[in-house]
Amino acid sequence: MRVLLLNPPGRELYVRDYFCSKTTKSNYHFHPVDLLALSGTLSLDHHVTVLDCIAEGLGPERARARIDVEGPDVVLSLVGSVSWEEDREFLRQQAGLGRRVFAIGDVLHENAEQRLAEEPWLEAILDDFTTADALHLLSGEEDEVLRATWRRADGSFVHRNEPRRGREHRLPRPRHELFPSRGYRFSFARRTPFATVLTDYGCPWPCTFCVISTLGHSTRPVEDVLEEVDGLCRRGTRELFVADQTFGVQRDRALELCAAFRERDLSWTAFTRPDLADDELLGAMRAAGCHTLIMGVESADDAVLDSCRKGYATDAARSAFERAHSHGLRTVGTFVVGLPDETEGSLERTLDFALELELDFMSINVAVPRFGTPFRRDVIAAGLVKHDELVMDQSGATVALPTKALTRAEVARFKRRMVRRFYLRPRWLWRRMRDVSGPREFIAQAREGFALLSRNA
Ligand code: SF4
455 pLDDT more than 80:
no
203 Cβ below 6 A of ligand 1: yes
Q: Which residues are CB-contacts of 361 (< 8 A; sequence separation ≥ 6)?
A: 187, 188, 330, 331, 332, 333
**pLDDT above 90 as % of the chain:** 74
Q: Which residues are CB-contacts of 240 (< 8 A; sequence separation ≥ 6)?
A: 194, 195, 196, 197, 229, 232, 266, 267, 268, 269
Q: Which residues are CB-contacts of 290 (< 8 A; sequence separation ≥ 6)?
A: 258, 261, 267, 268, 269, 270, 329
Whole-number pLDDT of residue 435: 82
- As a whole number, mean pLDDT of residues 85-89 equals 97
Is the separation of the CB atoms in 157 and 116 below 8 Å?
yes
* Phi, psi for residue 396 in degrees, rounded to 5: 90, 5
- As a whole number, mean pLDDT of residues 5-22 equals 95
List the helix and strand counts (H, then E) for the chain.
16, 17
Cα of 246 to ligand 1 centre, how many Å? 7
Which conformational region is residue 123 in: left (phi greater than 0), alpha (psi within -120 to 50 degrees), or beta? Answer: alpha
The identity of residue 17, as a single letter, is: D
Q: Which residues are CB-contacts of 438 (< 8 A; sequence separation ≥ 6)?
A: none
Rounded-to-integer distance, Cα 400 and Cα 391, Å:
8
Judged by average pLDDT, the poorest of 203-212, 351-360, 378-387, 441-450 is 441-450
213 Cβ below 6 A of ligand 1: yes
Q: What is the pLDDT of residues 395-438, one digit of tens each?
A: 767 787 888 889 989 998 888 899 889 988 888 888 888 888 77
Rounded-to-integer distance, Cα 167 and Cα 328, Å:
32
> Which amino acid residue places its CA nearest to atom 1 of ligand 1?
205
- Nearest atom of ligand 1 to the alpha carbon of 203: 4
Rounded-to-integer distance, Cα 396 and Cα 408, Å:
10
Q: What is the pLDDT of residues 93-103, one digit of tens each?
A: 999 999 999 99
Whole-number pLDDT of residue 327: 98
* 362 burial level (CB within 10 Å; 0-12, 13-18, 19+): buried
Highest mean pLDDT among 166-175, 253-262, 425-434: 253-262
Judged by average pLDDT, the poorest of 31-45, 163-177, 247-261 is 163-177
- As a whole number, mean pLDDT of residues 175-192 equals 93
User: Would you give the DSSP letter of residue 374?
Assistant: H
225 Cβ below 6 A of ligand 1: no
212 Cβ below 6 A of ligand 1: yes
Whole-number pLDDT of residue 439: 80
Is the separation of the CB atoms in 188 and 152 below 8 Å?
no
Cα of 309 to ligand 1 centre, how many Å? 10
Q: What is the pLDDT of residues 18-40, one digit of tens each?
A: 999 998 877 788 999 999 999 99
**pLDDT above 70 as % of the chain:** 100
Q: What is the pLDDT of residues 297-343, one digit of tens each?
A: 999 999 889 989 999 999 999 999 999 999 999 999 999 998 888 88
- Nearest atom of ligand 1 to the alpha carbon of 298: 7
What 3-state class would DSSP assign to 451? helix
> Which amino acid residue places its CA nearest to atom 6 of ligand 1?
207
Whole-number pLDDT of residue 74: 98
451 pLDDT more than 90:
no
- Nearest atom of ligand 1 to the alpha carbon of 273: 1
Q: What ranges in 264-301 are assigned the alpha helix state H? A: 279-287
Is the separation of the CB atoms in 184 and 54 below 8 Å?
no
273 Cβ below 6 A of ligand 1: yes
Which of 106, 200, 210, 370 best tests ligand 1's pocket when mutated (most atoms within 8 Å of CB)?
Answer: 210
Cα of 214 to ligand 1 centre, how many Å? 10
Q: Which residues are CB-contacts of 146 (< 8 A; sequence separation ≥ 6)?
A: 128, 131, 133, 160, 162
Question: CA-based angle 283:292:419, to the nearest 5?
Answer: 140
- Nearest atom of ligand 1 to the alpha carbon of 310: 6
> Which amino acid residue places its CA nearest to atom 8 of ligand 1?
210
Q: Which residue has the higher pLDDT, 352 or 341?
A: 352
**334 closest CA partner among 350, 349, 322, 346:** 350
211 Cβ below 6 A of ligand 1: no
Percent helix, strand and coil across the chain, each to the nearest 5: 40, 20, 40
Cα of 241 to ligand 1 centre, how many Å? 17
Mean pLDDT of the chain: 93
Cα of 31 to ligand 1 centre, how many Å? 20
219 Cβ below 6 A of ligand 1: no
205 Cβ below 6 A of ligand 1: yes
Whole-number pLDDT of residue 146: 96
Rounded-to-integer distance, Cα 273 and Cα 207, Å:
12
Is the separation of the CB atoms in 112 and 90 below 8 Å?
no
Cα of 245 to ligand 1 centre, how many Å? 7
- As a whole number, mean pLDDT of residues 371-376 equals 91
The identity of residue 292, as a single letter, is: T
- Nearest atom of ligand 1 to the alpha carbon of 205: 5
Cα of 301 to ligand 1 centre, how many Å? 17
* Phi, psi for residue 441 in degrees, rounded to 5: -70, -35
Which of 245, 249, 276, 335 best tests ligand 1's pocket when mutated (most atoms within 8 Å of CB)?
Answer: 245
**Beta sheet of 100-104, edge-to-edge order:** 47-52, 2-7, 74-78, 100-104, 124-126, 147-151, 157-161
> Which pLDDT band holds residue 269 (cuts at 50, 70, 90)?
very high
Whole-number pLDDT of residue 382: 85
Cα of 212 to ligand 1 centre, how many Å? 6
- As a whole number, mean pLDDT of residues 81-88 equals 95
CA 431 centroid distance within chain: 28
Is the separation of the CB atoms in 102 and 124 below 8 Å?
yes
Judged by average pLDDT, the poorest of 264-268, 272-276, 349-353, 365-369 is 365-369
Cα of 184 to ligand 1 centre, how many Å? 25
**101 closest CA partner among 122, 127, 132, 79:** 122
Question: CA-based angle 13:14:19, to the nearest 5?
Answer: 165
210 Cβ below 6 A of ligand 1: yes
Whole-number pLDDT of residue 396: 67
